[in-house]
Every structure is written in C-alpha cells, then in structure tokens.
Structure 1
Amino acid sequence: MHTISNEASAGRGRRRTHSAEFKAQVVAACSSPGVSIAAVSMAHGVNANLARRWVLQAERRGGAALARAANSAVLAAFVPVQLPVQLPPAEAEPAAIRIELRQGTTAITVSWPCAAASQCAAWMRELLR
C-alpha cells in the first residue's frame, strides 16, 4: 500500500551540497566589478538566489576584506592620465564675427563683436541690398 507522502518524496531528488571551494569561487566571480550575480550563477549551474545568499554570507563574515578586495579591483582597472596644464591666455580677446569681402582686387575685413550679432546682421542686409 502506497501513501501520498511516500510518493511525493520518492519523486524528488536530494538537495545538492556544494564545497566551500566552489562557493568561494562563485562569490569571487560575483564580486568582480560589472558582473551580474544571475549571469555568474547560470554559468556555474546554481540558482541566483542561492548565489546571492552565499555573497551575503561572505560579506557578513569578512565584509571589510571583501570590500577592500572589490575596491582594489576597481582601482586597478583605472589608469592615471596626466593632462597638460593649460594656462589662461594673458589677454583673452572677446569673441568676434569676422567677415572678409572681396571685389576684384579690393579686399575688406570687418571684425564685429559677437555681443552685437543682431546689428551685424542688419548691416549685412543693408550691404547686400
């Protein structure tokens, strides 16, 4: 005679157990910068929730050491770059509109301040009429 409880337990598999080395490997892979826990867990064949639990347990056990390792990995990814020092020009000229007009052998260059651009446009309209 079979009972329901016996049938349910017969069809289920046993829980898998993972070694401490395997857990450490998954946690180390999850702590790399820019890596998702879901992707790491899929690659290792474990549930993402289980991998997240292992990461949290590792943070609780050695949170400071794990944070230092993660920070050193991020800092190692950046390379310091020296930028050239740009000194301000001694006398900065205000921005200007520069117009060059040529007719035959005659050339005229007009420099107009950008602050008065609307007056420059009116002058150009009058000139080109």
Structure 2
Amino acid sequence: MHSDEFKADAVAAASQPGMSMASVALARGINANLLRRWVREAELPPARVLAKSVPAATTFVPVQLPEPATPTGEIHIEVRRGSMTICVAWPMGAAAECAGWMRELLR
C-alpha cells in the first residue's frame, strides 16, 4: 500500500530526536501504530525479517502395508461335564468359529 521510500522517510522522521511518532504519523496521514511497526521492523537485523513462506508442493506417496499376519497355533479347550471330558484343538485362525461353537456347546 505504501512504497518502501515512503516508509523509510517516515521511519527516518520518527527517529529524529524530539519527534513524536504520533505527530510524524499525523503529518503523513497514517496510523501511529502502523508507523511504530515500521520503526520496529527497521530496527530488526535483516536476518530476523522473515519472508512469507511458500507452501511446499505436496505429492501423494503410496504406502505398501504388509499383509496382516495369520495367527498360528491352536486353541486348546478342555470341557468336563460329570464323568465326561472333551478335549478340542481348534486352529487359531478360526477363533471366531471356535467362539460360536463354544456358545452352542454351553447352552
């Protein structure tokens, strides 16, 4: 909105001994807070003035996930009813079916 030359002139005028920022801002038709910001920015070392960051380009990167591991081993169940004992070995990969069988058995 304001040229760099205009800003530099306003900052230089505000930096003169005995000058108030409010009077310099009023004489140039700008807000005193804006002039204070320009003075602050002018006092910063050049390395501290941050440039607006440019967003990095994003790209889609496909990720290959390993296949879920199939459970190995067996489920061992021993059921005793009175004098009768049932021993069952069920594959771990079919645990849901084993649970259904157990529900039916225990009804």
Instruction: Tell whether the structures are fold-level matches, with TM greater than 0.5.
Output: no
TM-score, normalised to structure 1, is 0.35
TM-score, normalised to structure 2, is 0.42
Higher helix share: 1
